[in-house]
Structure 1
């Protein structure tokens, strides 16, 4: 059995390979269609997922993989063993379609409901974030996908003037109400799972999300943030878990959550 360090390296290489395919389509222009849930999907989502699934089936055949487009097609593996991989091949499809650069590739390993390894790669920004196996890092890549730097990251202590992150494409009134109630004055609008990574990097303090999300949207960023000293919690303060079947929610759907920096520094 491969150890976590090896698995994290495989996730990193798979995400970079998928990002290369995504950028080729991004520059050429992608056809867009709607899935049954009315969310958009492009050829980049599907091509990137094929790249990742091919790599994972070759290198980690013993671990079941739950991938967004596979689930949309009705193909869901047995995850009753408690250890599985979550894949979002292109998180922030609306950002991708709209010509914004803050879309990501997300890959995470789940063990007993907890995201223990995660990679979030923003190919258009040349930035990859990883968490788990005893480290949290930001990896910088050049235009040829060569790694030029690996920098440790850590969530910051609670700021006297905290900054909140909100979704560009999927904000909702419940999230706005939480920010108003918390008297948070500064906010930044960012797409995709990069919001988790900005908290993990110490560039923001909180990412509240009360609109719908799926586990593949959050698991990799959650793993990065936890490795950097932060936490993703439900409204009652419990850690967000994965492989859920909650009453009133679809399989793999998240409840509302709040991603924050260092828990020990919260007031």
Structure 2
């Protein structure tokens, strides 16, 4: 993939992000949710995206006919996708992600049409099928639910001895997943010192809560769980780095 090709793709993505988040007033979103297809803001928003795409393709040196066709495609698809989203609950993360994925799929298709080749897809497929990518994907998958379940089972002998910590439902498991995600990333980047800063920051945040509880069992339980989680992730990260394709 050449630099101009990548620059055009990034330009299309930047145009989408600008149009969807920087240049869209909140009143346009509210109007679309209330009035659906009769909302004037829906078509203004879609037209703005079309103009941004026209600008990007023009700067990229596209033929006028292709640039106009691409702008029309993006504007039309954006209006239809946003109209569909207007009939769904805007507070649900799944619909937000689906909306963005559909928009990005249209932009990717336009970019491939602009290139006139499916070569980037073949390159992406080869990268996804490489041992390095599969190893990293497996490692990040392991530090989510599989390791959370393993740690919960390992901590089960002591969990009944700990009183209700009064935290949000499943918050601890999600915090642990994010913590392991960060630790694994730092290990793979050979930033082991930063792991210590991460543990220190978590300890500072938890110290006040644990001191207020004055529950030694709870303190030991949290400390044991944290060390078990971090140790397992460190070992996994070092194991991945020791492989021929993980260094």
**Which structure's residues are more often helix, by fraction?**
2
Q: Which structure's CA Rg is the greater one?
A: 2
Q: TM-score, normalised by structure 2?
A: 0.32
**Which structure's residues are more often strand, by fraction?**
1
Q: TM-score, normalised by structure 1?
A: 0.30
